[in-house]
Amino acid sequence: MTGRNLPPLSLHVPEPRFRPGDAVDFADFDMPVAGAVARPEIGTAPAEMRDHSYAMVRVLDDQGHAQGPWDPRLAPETLLKMLRHMALVRAYDERLYRAQRQGKTSFYMKCTGEEATSIAAAHALDYDDMCFPSYRQQGLLIAREWPLVDMMNQVFSNKGDRLKGRQMPIMYSARQANFFSISGNLATQYPQAVGWAMASAARGDTRISAVWCGEGSTAEGDFHSALTFAAVYRAPVILNVINNQWAISSFSGFAGAEATTFAARAVGYGIAGLRVDGNDALAVYAATQWAADRARGNHGPTLIEHFTYRAEGHSTSDDPTKYRSAEESTNWPLGDPIARLKQHVIALGIWDEERHAAMDREVAELCKAAQRESEALGTLHDGLKQPFDSMFEDVFEEMPWHLKEQSQQMRDERKAAGI
């Protein structure tokens, strides 16, 4: 029966606060106090941690001092290594971005402003722990000291590319670094990471897994299937959500940010949830360490929302000036992760501006030298780098008869064509 006196239904369409040309004002941003969030015991039941999904773990205050129970109290050498790795990934991004603009590769994605979410996390994990990245976690490889030349070879799809040009640029794979192959399909890595963690537990191993996705990917079915299995089997896995405020060209509201936090996804599944300042390297390290200890202690999974900001475009195919204000990145209230860690180590007296400037020059030269070495093996300009026969390889352990026939047919046709 139609309710004649009822108001007509209306549909809510989320709208970002600032559009191109708008003045940006974050004055009403409720800045969480550094050190104010309690640090639960490792075995705390998820139901007792509900507030942690709505608060925000912060360690560094505005003066760069570490505050509160989440301070990981890292050794000076660890702090400086994290700082260098973050500077290195930013320098790496800058060189590959320019290479794409020069036509040397077809595609690239920077992680500017999000470096702490992978670098600090990698330092808090054991090297043997398995990482299931999305496409903006190149910092995991850099933190694990993977060769820059090998990474660049993959981006250029040259003859040194171990993946033989079969993956899009930046979709790395490094089994020896416990770095799972990146997939362009959103959130497929989530059930894979949970399954890997379940297998590790079933074998009685001690290794855990960690997985990353963007906040937009939490709308994918794979994300929710993974959380169901992780909760039911208490899989030893860390589920990272990088809330950088923007998906490809739609803001986080389309993934549900207007209604609640992304860490709150954990509440409905009975999983421990943490919301962390993703631009605070110490907070990221501490939360990851806590979640890793929880997983190793058989207390189950943890979902961590890293609240950060995508300072650059989604990729080299994207123009963020078409959908957001140019002032957002410079006015982001949580600052820049490298600048904040730099401020912290200077305040500790273990670093200074001169050494920082020298480090920036050193990592820039390191990336320049790696690029020169990689480009010697070819770039997009140079055409095909892999032999045609390779398209039939690496699918089966032993090539079946029908692929042998097709491979031979290809060779015959190319020979007849004089190629």
- Which residues are designated catalytic? 310, 314, 323
Q: In what order do the strands lie in the sheet with 272-277?
A: 130-132, 209-214, 237-243, 302-307, 272-277
Non-local (6+) Cβ contacts of 387 within 8 A are none
Closest CA to 304 of 287, 327, 289: 287
Rounded CA separation 86/66 (Å): 19
188: tokens are 């497929």
Q: Which contacts (CB < 8 Å, 24+ apart) does range 62-67 have? A: 62/34, 63/343, 63/347, 64/340, 64/343, 64/344, 64/346, 64/347, 65/344, 65/347, 66/282, 66/344, 67/34, 67/35
The 3-state DSSP class for residue 141 equals: helix
**Cα gap 262→241, rounded to integer Å:** 7
Name the β-bridge partners of 273.
Answer: 303
Give residue for tokens 């609640």: 260
* Separation CA 57–CA 34 (nearest Å): 7
Q: How far is residue 406's CA from residue 118's CA, in Å, rounded to a whole number? A: 43
Q: How far is CA 177 from CA 127, 128, 144, 278, 357, in A?
A: 7, 8, 7, 24, 30
Q: Tell me the β-bridge partners of 211.
A: 132, 239
The single-letter DSSP state of residue 8 is P
DSSP E strand boundaries for 215-301: 237-243, 272-277
Specify the residue for token string 């670093």. Answer: 351
